[in-house]
Structure 1
Amino acid sequence: MTDTLIQQRWSALRAARLIPVLRYRDAETALYAAQIALRAGCRGIELTWTIPGVLEVLRAVRADAQLSGRADVLVGVGTILDGEQARLALEAGADFLVSPGVLPELVELAHAAGALGMLGAFTPTEVIAARAAGADVVKIFPASTGGPAHLAALKSVFADTAFCPTGGVSRDNMAAYFQAGAAVVGMGGNLFDAQRLAARDTDALVQALAGTLHAAGAG
């Protein structure tokens, strides 16, 4: 049953194509950004551990998804650096966990709970370690350091690995990352126009993100 749930969640995340990576200094902005993502049609949302009160934000996003008829949305927690953070995130209801590096304990805990585990890597050696740890997805971070060419080189060696480049991905360059072999992409700082976000221009933000999802080929 657990393996089936993990497969279902990976199928849903892969169809999402784009994962908003929400990293904000206050919980209110993070929750607002997540609400925009829900309204725009995102099927997966990552909240970073660095958000103050991230677990309460996670619960609030889950409640909003239920109320808006989006109970199928996957909500995960990223920037996980140790097993205790992973455990707390899973207890709060995270569907997937993301670490910027290779943290085998994260995968073990996630899989035991039927959640997905995404480990970060940049070099071939790190990709091998992430695969050995059982990662469902390997996060290439920071993606901008090597760009699509770096991802394409990794994909040529690790053809059966699902990659998610994150860090510097934008609407303008995400097509290049998909062409290089990305299964999904993580988009953080380039997700929203900063001025519109500060002004809480909801309609414009929803429209822009919906357009980005369409350009990503979200299913």
Structure 2
Amino acid sequence: MTAPLASKLAALMAARVVPVLRYTDAATAAYAAEVAVAAGCATLELTWTIPGVTDLLRALRDKHGSALQLGVGTVLDEHQARDALVAGADFLVSPALATDIVDMAHAADALCLLGAFTPTEVLAARRAGADIVKIFPADTGGPKHLAALKSVFPDVLFCPTGGVTQDNMGTYFAAGAALVGIGSNLYDKAAFAARDTPALVAQIVRTREAAHG
């Protein structure tokens, strides 16, 4: 692993909780991103499903510089991967075994997280060179499923995503998660609808403190 990749992996691991921003318009996603940054998050995943996601990535990079590690998720093919990398993504995340994007990511000094659920898929992700294996959807199997996978793949870094909350993330960490991805559960829905920034920031701070506790 190159020094830039090792540095990015260390930063990703240190985050413990990665906000996964999946919204139907860029303005809402941008607001969610700024709330997360205000709460101390230094790593964000922007999903490909956000309209104009590469423009949003560039805007966040221009505003926050290298202090913010930015990834693009829901990457399904080489075309999306290339566009994300050209925009400056620090890491790519696929919900599935998109093994063709691994070498492309590494060539750009970007990390690659591949999605898996079964032991066979975890092995395939590892063989493809994935830096971290994303267990998705996590809540389908729950922490027990993750613990079973960790028992036979002790050297794999796992990131369960999908249904992870502040209340249950501790059980995922105990089961062997290196970090977790949390989507809309990271933001109280009523506070988000009201754009109650102080309440949202406080909520994310509590989640981050619990993850590092």
Q: 2:211 aligns to what?
A: 216
**Distance in 2 of aligned mates of 1:84 and 1:24:** 21
Pick aligned residue for 1:116 from 111, 117, 132: 111
Helix, strand or coil: the match of 2:97? coil
CA shift, 1:105, in A, is: 1.6
Deviation at 1:162, TM superposition (A): 0.1
Offset, 1:195: 1.4
Measured after TM superposition, the shift of residue 64 of structure 1 is 2.6
Q: AA paired with 1:183?
A: A
* 2:42 is equivalent to residue 43 of structure 1: yes
Matches within 5 A, 1:145-156: 145-156=140-151
Q: Match of 2:7, as an amino acid? A: Q
Runs of 4+ in 1 over 6 A off after TM superposition: none
Q: Which residue type is aligned with residue 120 of structure 1?
A: G
Alignment correspondent of 2:82: 87
Counterpart position of 2:11: 12
Taking structure 2 as the reference length, the TM-score comes to 0.98
Q: Tell me the residue number matched to 2:27.
A: 28
Residues paired across the two proteins, number: 213
Instruction: Compute the displacement of 1:72 (Å).
Output: 2.3
CA contact (8 A) 1:20 1:186 kept: yes
Percent same amino acid at aligned positions? 61
Structure-2 separation of matches of 1:59 and 1:73: 11
**1:86-116 per-position Cα deviation (integer Å, ceiling 9, x unaligned):** 0000000000000001111211111000000
| Equivalent position amino acid for 2:195 in 1 | R
Selected match of 1:194 from 189, 194, 201: 189
Equivalent residue, structure 1, for 2:99:
104
TM-score (norm 1): 0.95
2:72 alignment partner in structure 1: 77
DSSP 3-state at the match of 2:144: helix
CA RMSD of aligned residues (A): 1.0
Partner SS for 2:185: coil
Map Cα deviations across residues 37-88 of structure 1 (whole Å, 9 max, x no partner).
Answer: 111011210000000110111111212323xxxx322100000000010000
